[in-house]
Structure 1
Amino acid sequence: MNKNVDKKLNQFIEEKIQKTRLEDVMSTRFARYSKYIIQDRALPDARDGLKPVQRRILYAMGEMGLAHNKPYKKSARIAGEVMGKYHPHGDSSIYEAMVRMSQDFKMRVPLIDMHGNNGSIDGDSAAAMRYTEARLSKEAEYLLKDIEKRTVPFVPNFDDEEQEPTVLPAKFPNLLVNGAMGISAGYATKIPPHNLREIIDATIALIENPNLTDDEMLAIVKGPDFPTGGIVQGKDGIKQALKTGAGKIIIRSKTAIEEISKSQDRIVITEIPYEVVKADLVRAIDNLRINNNIEDILEIRDETDQEGLRIAIDLKKGADAQFILNYLYKNSDLQIAYNYNMVAILNHRPVQVGVIELLKTYIEHQKEVITNRSNYELDKATKRNHIVDGLIKMTSVVEEVIQVIRKSENKSQSKINIQNRFGFTELQAEAIVMLQLYRLSTTDIQALMDEQQALKKEMDKLNQILSNERILMKTIKNELLEVHAIIGQDRRTVIEDEIEAIKIDHRDLIQDERIMVGITKDGYVKRASLRSFNASKEVGLKENDCLLFEEEINTLDTLLMFTNLGNFIFLPAYKIDEQKWKDLGVYINNIVPVEKNERIIRVFSITDFKSNKKLLLASKQGLMKQVNLSDFEVTRYNKPMRAMKLDKDDELRSVDFEVKENIISLSKEGYVLRFNTEELPIYGLSAGGVKSMSLNDGDELAVAFYAKESDDFYFLTSRGHVIKDTVLELPRYARNRRGVILVERQKTNPHYVVSASRLSRTQVKEDVKVRLLSTKEALVTVVSELKYVANKFGKKMLDDGYYMEIANALGEEVETKPTPKKKAEAIDEKPAKVIEEAIITKENKQIRLSRLDLFDEE
């Protein structure tokens, strides 16, 4: 008994069990496993840029009808559909692939629109699949488009019950647009995402010129375009990668340095490198602070909100922000190296290739897709044309056809009888017996004839695509252009040629909003929201202080504040701390250090420094110069900068904006000089001015401004009187003259000129606002209130005069030519009454001056 069992057992072993070496078994099995994970798991196909699990998810969702404009469905239901029909693996791997395709910080063009928590850039995992919902994105639909038209090959699924595509039609080069990462046996891939518009432009260029060079390709595809933005540095690495599929680049965060106070800065990070987890980055930088690797970091905060990513690193006072930033680039993931390894499946083999080879593979794929689609549509159109042709022929024998059908016993006999009697094919006979009677009307017969014409045109078009290579390529190009126009997006990543080059405009970080800014004559600066301004009944001021500047501006505007010492303060509006309008504000010395005797004399709000505008600067001693506005734009502004070089006993008295053809200057004692603006040279900031108004001993320049010949002007006296005059009535002299006298001198308590402002016809028409300042208070009125009075010293408005400014017109100033007064006939002419004054010169000679006299410099 035992012998028989042993014999049978040995016989079974000899028949069923193979004897082979272990290393041969391992080699064979591992080769099969490697082939599987290389081709069917970890590496993307070069044609549609998808791994098998991604392709199966998208196809399944397409079959479920989850278009971008249809309702969401539970992610668990989608994962179950994919797992049950196409992907016999764990549901977690399917769901993780779904989540990644929906994350806009991982995918340059997300392929799934997920509703709910789908993870975050902080490394948070998505909510469980039972909570989230999903549907296809609009971009994913372009990958699936025309799949129902037999455009791509299908194979049986794992249990032979379903069919699944081996590749998607892919109406754009998804592999380069979304990139890929994967590790398999002996192979890995790392392809960065690129800009869809650039990749489509490159594909079209390759269609038009198959011999496109690498340099020509690099001119179109600038480099990677990461969904997280950032700065890519190293053009040579990009060029090498585009050519060979391997290269190295540097990805640097977008950063800016903000000033907390005059001696304290803050580093702000607004974009981080691709695939860097933000929470880990913040933790790593904070560990550098805790471990005292770098002592100048005060605090690091993650201030990310719905407005966007923001990491703030507050530095200690006096810290070198640029040095700390360079340290963080070197010792944290604020800057990382990215190594291209562009490996994809081409012709069932893993190959490392450059961009041109990938795009050529994609173009060949599209040629197959369009050809297969055209064959499908041609076959469909041919069948329909055959049916329509039969229906049209039937209309000529419709009565006989009806008789034949009525005499037939059933549908199948009707079809046979019609075929035998009239010669219709089986397909035509089927259409005839299924035809509804109302379709036999004249209208529907015409519709059939119109349809036949349209079918013939379509068939001709499809035949041309199938027979003409040039038309086929043109069709691919047109479809790419359609995708370019509909789903193309602007580039997010900045490309820098050199690794050390970094150009960041910190103004891009500032929220664009309207604010109210006020600056007092004593140097207090305040910024308030429009809500606070409108809610405040009165402005907060120190005793005997008043607003020199009050204007609604933009946070991105810059204030230019000129001081009596010939300096200017460059102050971006967003740098001013926001307060309530009823607060006193911040003293200028707490923002920018100024001298004890330095005070603000004029303020301008500038939106654009690139314009060709100029400023007029005039000093107490009569020196003037023009300066280009662009010269005042600076990058470092932590202290006052020189606007005009002055002598020790001189000071800046007046600054004006917006060039006009005349310059009007008034002296303290009431002299006025008008000369052509062209006579005054344009100098830089470090230069002094040229002598532009000759002054008597003891006299000094009070104000100078631009004016048109058609303008009037008002000037304010030390006794608070406002006097009006006209530019046209002033004689035009050469520069460096004394001019004529406007104000009659009084021996006791004389009127001295302290300020002036031009007045155009448009300003009069708009009745613009006028700001009058005394040494203790401000009066805000309008032009119409400065009515002319008979008093030769004008209208009294204040107790004493300090400064006046007439607001600019809101509308465009219309050019009007002044009309000179007509001369009366000789018999009626009377000598004009002229204001004149006797002056005793050093030589004890008495001379008389009037506004009609011309005086050269003595």
Structure 2
Amino acid sequence: MSSEVPDPTDVEARAVENVRIEDEMEQSYIDYAMSVIAGRALPDVRDGLKPVHRRILYAMYEMGVTSGSSHRKSSSIVGETMGDYHPHGDSAIYDTLVRMAQDFSMRYPLVDGQGNFGSMDGDPAAAPRYTEARMSPISEELLSDIDKDTVDFSANYDDRLQEPDVLPAAFPNLLVNGSSGIAVGMSTNIPPHNLGEVIDATIELIDNPEATVEDLMEHVKGPDFPTGANIVGRDAIYSAYKTGRGRLRVRAEFEVEEWKNDRERIVITELPYQANKARMVERIAEDVNEGEIEGISDLRDESDRDGVRIVVECKRGANVEVVKNKLLENHLEKTFGVINLALVDGQPQVLSLRETLEEYVAHRREVVRRRSEYDLAEAEDRAHILEGRLRALENVDDVVELIQNSEDRSAAKDGLQSTFDFSSDQADHIVRMQLGSLTSMEAAEIEDEYEDVTAEIERLTEILESEQELLSVIKDELRAVRDEYADDRRTSIVEDQGTVTHEDLIPEEEVFVVMTEDDYVKRMPIDGFDPQGRGGKGIIGADVKEDDRVTTVFRANTHDYLLCFTNRGKVYQLKTYEIPEMGRTARGKSAVNILDLEADEDITAIVDTDAFGDDEYVTMATRNGYVKRTAGEEFDNIRSTGIIAADLEEGDELVDVEVTDGSQDLVVATEGGMTIRFDEDEVRAMGRNARGVNGIKLEGDDAVAGLVATDEADERALLTVTRNGYGKRTQLSEYRTQSRYGKGLIDIKTGRRNGPVTAVKAVSPTDQAVVMSERGQIMRTRIDEISTVGRNTMGVIVMEVQSGDAVASVDVIPESSITTDEDEANVDETVESEDDSQ
């Protein structure tokens, strides 16, 4: 026997295949890439889950760790998932479990966690041995009916068990919770959405298969992030929904607050999705220390379990708008790149909003069809058994006797089949019946059950035979999920000033804006109110509710910027088009939905301006006779919460506002019919927080009614209108200039017949006046129909005011804003001539 050991390398190969190393590497890399794409990194369009998410949920379902059970140690769930379905590292499984439990990561968390599952500050979750978890109620909707052959199953990694290829998914989870992942050569980044909006869009697509992305966006306004915040601009949203790709600007929610010692602070209450709060605060502090951001005196994170609150305190005198813009530029805005990439039939595909919902509807159609087939088979089997039981009860004596006389159960079954023509299943069931089931009550219950099962068979057959009925079932189930789990939208969508916005789509037109004492507001086209003769009753301009009254009516263009001054001395800014347009008989919309007014705050004056010139001033008059002048530039940056325009003493109110140029005369009129005219220079310019100086001496309980700015060359007249509808015109030249803080001259005789003065306006004969009563009557009349008389007269009837009503407000339409029928005809001729020339 030889002692030589054979060389193991000295073996003749059975087959040798020569391949190029480039080809082998290419194919191996493709195989690896497809494994990562399909088996790890990308979600399935049908249930919106990656394999690891699906395996965790299915493992919890198999373990019985549902929303109704007690919490289970996370380590136990991770171990079961890894051992049975997901043969990868436990840290990867636990990280996925943690994310599904984070309410700041998932719009609708799929896992109900107990313990430390991390935070927005980037803090990691506690170790899995310390945390506990169970399925959340909404995650059970993803697995609903999985035991009814609704989806395909495949063998797990070691062929011991079966796992689902996809979950039934009773709601479009891909859009609802979104997904992100990096595969080989591609990535996905799908934002979360509001459940109710997505379901409404899905139902819309089912009802209208030709629905466009625009139609679906009537329901899905845009992504809805769990952390709230704001999406800037709608164009990017439309692009993402139309093409499957887009870049969204997500901006933090914040507001500027007045603070102590005339200082202001910026309070941040919502952050962009996936922002690290602690890191963001740290970076702001670094920029402040390095001088990148100036004007910040303190920075605090006051967040708690109730929500985010980051306070940025500004230094005294700091320009808060500059601070705000710096924060927006570097910290408070993030870009969310939408890549709506998902697996469709195992292949990665970028999908539009419509295509995503189409794939989901197709999936649900298959799930409901397979479930109905399963339930139908079950129902038919049950009906077959019940038919046998009913026939056995009809022949109960013979059946019992046959069974008693049989040698064994097998012989009894054979006898039942041969004698009564029972099937094998029916005979097997009958021989196993208990004697108690032969009672008359039991027989009635069997008959009732048989009727129910028969009705169920008919319903399921109808679903399987009718596409419309099947789709109706899908819609009903979607509505049930929406009713159970839908909530309000968290993320707002704000306009992008640098792109085409809603404003650009609104035509420029002259409108009336009406406000009431209870802060209802609306706008109406001027064209709806034709001029009437003096002394008319007018027509309905607003349907005010009981105990409310109209306080203001004014004319504006839909694209104008309006400075709204209130009786409390504050000023707010808005665009006219932001006020809802309504009909004459509408009450209007509550102003608190447009302006952040306080409970006892009413708008008393409106200034229509886009911007102030270098030499312009905002001149204000108060009820107690004070007059104040402030440079217009101090009103250039007005916060949504308003700013202080005048510091009023207790019991005083802001009455009227004019824009002046520093060289005019001011005419102050009182409710008792007195007026005083003095040089604007007698009122020195002062800051917003000042009270002003005395403008007129008031007798008794008299009060200021209005303010007019004029000059020596002004040929206009002073229109005075009283509470009972009387009015007159007097040339402004008849009001001589006096020193400030005198009693003034008599402008109009007031008494029981005409009542106190409501408003004064400077008018030309070609202008028109708009008079509105407290009960909502409105009248438009030509100024030249109102008599021009001397100062010390009572006036004529301008508007016939009904008993219990009174004039609330007066506004003037300048000649330049009046469009006549002749003007419109000229415009039409011009357009036609241009068309002919082309």
The interval holding the TM-score normalised by the smaller chain is 0.5 to 0.7
2:478 corresponding residue in structure 1: 480
TM-aligned CA deviation for residue 651 of structure 1? 8.1
Distance 1:159 1:166 in 2: 16
2:9 corresponding residue in structure 1: 9
Deviations 1:661-689 (A, max 9, x none): xxxxxxxxxxxxxx99434789xxxx9xx
2:161 corresponding residue in structure 1: 162
TM-aligned CA deviation for residue 60 of structure 1? 1.4
TM-aligned CA deviation for residue 44 of structure 1? 0.1
TM-aligned CA deviation for residue 646 of structure 1? 7.7
> Structure 1 pair 379/9, CA: closer, same or farther in 2 (3 Å)?
same
- Look up the SS of the partner of 1:221 in the other structure: coil
1:293 corresponding residue in structure 2: 292
Contact 1:601 1:654 in 2 (8 A): no
Contact 2:626 2:696 in 1 (8 A): no
TM-aligned CA deviation for residue 150 of structure 1? 0.7
Q: Greater RCO between the two (CA within 8 Å, min separation 6)?
A: 2
> Structure 1 pair 57/568, CA: closer, same or farther in 2 (3 Å)?
farther
> Structure 1 pair 188/454, CA: closer, same or farther in 2 (3 Å)?
same
Give ranges in structure 2 of 5+ residues lacking alignment: 503-567, 569-595, 605-621, 630-643, 655-667, 677-686, 706-720, 736-741, 758-802, 805-838
TM-aligned CA deviation for residue 425 of structure 1? 1.0
Distance 1:102 1:19 in 2: 52
Contact 2:42 2:188 in 1 (8 A): yes
Matched, 1:564 2:611: no
Matched, 1:305 2:304: yes
2:650 corresponding residue in structure 1: 600
- Look up the SS of the partner of 1:366 in the other structure: helix
Question: Which residue identity is paired with 1:353?
Answer: L
> Structure 1 pair 346/419, CA: closer, same or farther in 2 (3 Å)?
same
Relative to the length of structure 2, the TM-score reads 0.64
- Look up the SS of the partner of 2:154 in the other structure: strand
1:847 corresponding residue in structure 2: none
Q: 2:390 aligns with which of 373, 388, 392?
A: 392
> Structure 1 pair 677/555, CA: closer, same or farther in 2 (3 Å)?
closer
Q: Percent identity?
A: 39
Q: 1:463 aligns with which of 461, 464, 468?
A: 461
Q: CA RMSD in A?
A: 3.9
Distance 1:71 1:680 in 2: 78
> Structure 1 pair 82/261, CA: closer, same or farther in 2 (3 Å)?
same
> Structure 1 pair 230/499, CA: closer, same or farther in 2 (3 Å)?
farther
The aligned runs of 1:345-744 (5 Å cut-off) are 345-499=343-497, 557-558=599-600, 564-566=624-626, 599-602=649-652, 619=670, 623=674, 638-639=688-689, 647-650=695-698, 653=701, 677-679=723-725, 732-735=752-755
- Look up the SS of the partner of 1:339 in the other structure: strand
Distance 1:652 1:567 in 2: 19
- Look up the SS of the partner of 2:248 in the other structure: strand
TM-aligned CA deviation for residue 56 of structure 1? 0.8
- Look up the SS of the partner of 1:678 in the other structure: coil
Distance 1:223 1:698 in 2: 61
- Look up the SS of the partner of 1:312 in the other structure: strand
Deviations 1:494-529 (A, max 9, x none): 1124256999xxxxxxxxxxxxxxxxxxxxx9xxxx
TM-aligned CA deviation for residue 652 of structure 1? 9.7
2:335 corresponding residue in structure 1: 337
TM-aligned CA deviation for residue 316 of structure 1? 0.7
Question: Which residue identity is paired with 2:425?
Answer: L
Distance 1:98 1:183 in 2: 18
Give ranges in structure 1 of 5+ residues lacking alignment: 504-524, 526-553, 570-590, 605-616, 626-636, 658-674, 691-696, 706-730, 738-814, 817-858
Question: Which residue identity is paired with 1:166?
Answer: D
> Structure 1 pair 555/259, CA: closer, same or farther in 2 (3 Å)?
same
Question: Which residue identity is paired with 1:443?
Answer: M
> Structure 1 pair 72/212, CA: closer, same or farther in 2 (3 Å)?
same
> Structure 1 pair 374/565, CA: closer, same or farther in 2 (3 Å)?
same
TM-aligned CA deviation for residue 21 of structure 1? 3.9
The aligned runs of 1:778-793 (5 Å cut-off) are none
Question: Which residue identity is paired with 2:335?
Answer: A
- Look up the SS of the partner of 2:311 in the other structure: strand
Deviations 1:690-719 (A, max 9, x none): 9xxxxxx99999xxx9xxxxxxxxxxxxxx
Contact 1:565 1:651 in 2 (8 A): no
Q: Report which of the two structures shows the higher radius of gyration computed on alpha carbons.
A: 1
| Aligned residues between the structures | 586
> Structure 1 pair 475/267, CA: closer, same or farther in 2 (3 Å)?
same
- Look up the SS of the partner of 2:359 in the other structure: helix
> Structure 1 pair 75/8, CA: closer, same or farther in 2 (3 Å)?
closer
TM-aligned CA deviation for residue 555 of structure 1? 11
TM-aligned CA deviation for residue 11 of structure 1? 2.6
> Structure 1 pair 311/680, CA: closer, same or farther in 2 (3 Å)?
farther
> Structure 1 pair 17/289, CA: closer, same or farther in 2 (3 Å)?
farther
Distance 2:486 2:21 in 1: 55
The aligned runs of 1:752-831 (5 Å cut-off) are none
Distance 2:429 2:318 in 1: 87
Distance 1:364 1:559 in 2: 55
1:98 corresponding residue in structure 2: 97
Contact 1:262 1:592 in 2 (8 A): no
Distance 2:453 2:311 in 1: 65
Deviations 1:561-620 (A, max 9, x none): 977344799xxxxxxxxxxxxxxxxxxxxx9975xxx8433589xxxxxxxxxxxx9959
- Look up the SS of the partner of 2:217 in the other structure: helix
- Look up the SS of the partner of 1:30 in the other structure: helix
Question: Which residue identity is paired with 1:427?
Answer: D
Contact 2:698 2:743 in 1 (8 A): no
